Amino acid sequence: MKILAITNQKGGVGKTTTCVNLAASLAVAKRRVLLVDLDPQGNATTGSGVDKSALASTIYHVLLGEKKLSEVKVRSGAGDFDIIPANRELAGAEVELVNELAREVRLKNALTGLENDYDYVLIDCPPALNLVTVNALTAAHAVMIPMQCEYFALEGLSDLVNTIKKVRAYLNPKLEIEGLLRTLFDPRNMLAQQVSAQLESHFGKKVYNTVIPRNIRLAEAPSYGMPVLFHDRASKGAQAYLALAQEMIKREKANG
């Protein structure tokens, strides 16, 4: 089981879109996937076809130690994967955990015992470097960083890399950077091309070959509560996430 935190403290870079569509694409490749929604916005929950207002229990109850993951887990409404849903309640966890013991390892502990149930756990992080994100970084084997190739993208990346270093020092020495994913990409934009080239020269093989284009179908799919491959499988967006899943599986095999 590989646990990946999909994270970037910058908002709107495609974290949730990546989580939902990668989960569905890995499932197409017969991988068993658990998506953990760790954002009070609950966008990954809704985007997977789960009604977040109708939930009795969510990741919030898991982090507070009131429920096990298995008690909170639901099946995606469209797509062959499981999901630990979130809703607005999660926003309270940050404050409620302040005086609790082992508050950074709540998610890590909750995931132990599931090693044989899943091939991939994908954690959708909120756009913040807060306690909830630290829980994701502590539980994860590696981080996947979706990013838009913009002027300030590299600066934001160095903040994230510093946080990863701190988490390694205090909480999770083995945390790796799995890969950087270029999202919302527009090849006609010269600046995007320059930043993309800079990323490749700084991070080399850590940058996925697969690039996620800006594609309207990807933006539409959540409003139907489904991953894009059920909305329009032929679209560039669906094809890109299917290709990303294949690239990950190839890497997995190359690394034994």
Binding residues (CB under 6 A) for ligand ATP: these are 11-17, 39, 41, 43, 127, 183-184, 212, 214-215, 218-219, 222, 237
Region class of 225: left (phi > 0), else alpha (psi between -120 and 50), else beta: left
Q: Is the CB of 170 or the CB of 224 nearer to Mg ion?
A: 224
To Mg ion, the closest distance from the beta carbon of 254 in angstroms equals 30
Q: What residue 12 binds from Mg ion, ligand ATP, none (CB within 5 to 8 A, per partner kind)? A: ligand ATP
Find residue 188's DSSP bridge partners: none
To ligand ATP, the closest distance from the beta carbon of 118 in angstroms equals 22
To Mg ion, the closest distance from the beta carbon of 44 in angstroms equals 7
Q: Which residue is nearest to Mg ion (CB)?
A: 16
Indicate whether 15 belongs to the interface with Mg ion (CB under 5 A): yes
- Is 170 within 8 Å of 136 (Cβ atoms)? no
Region 43-72 residues binding Mg ion, contact defined as CB under 5 A: 43
CB within 8 Å of 218: residues ≥ 6 apart: 17, 21, 212, 228, 235, 237, 238
To ligand ATP, the closest distance from the beta carbon of 106 in angstroms equals 20
Indicate whether 87 belongs to the interface with Mg ion (CB under 5 A): no
- Name the packing angle between helices 190-203 and 153-170 (round to 10°): 30
In this structure, the number of other CB atoms found within 10 A of the CB of residue 74 comes to: 17
Report the half-sphere exposure of 188 (CA within 13 A, side-chain side). 1
Residue 152, phi then psi, degrees to nearest 5: -90, 5
Indicate whether 16 belongs to the interface with Mg ion (CB under 5 A): yes
Q: What residue 144 binds from ligand ATP, Mg ion, none (CB within 5 to 8 A, per partner kind)? A: none
Query: Which parts of this chain interact with Mg ion (CB under 5 A)?
Result: 15-16, 43
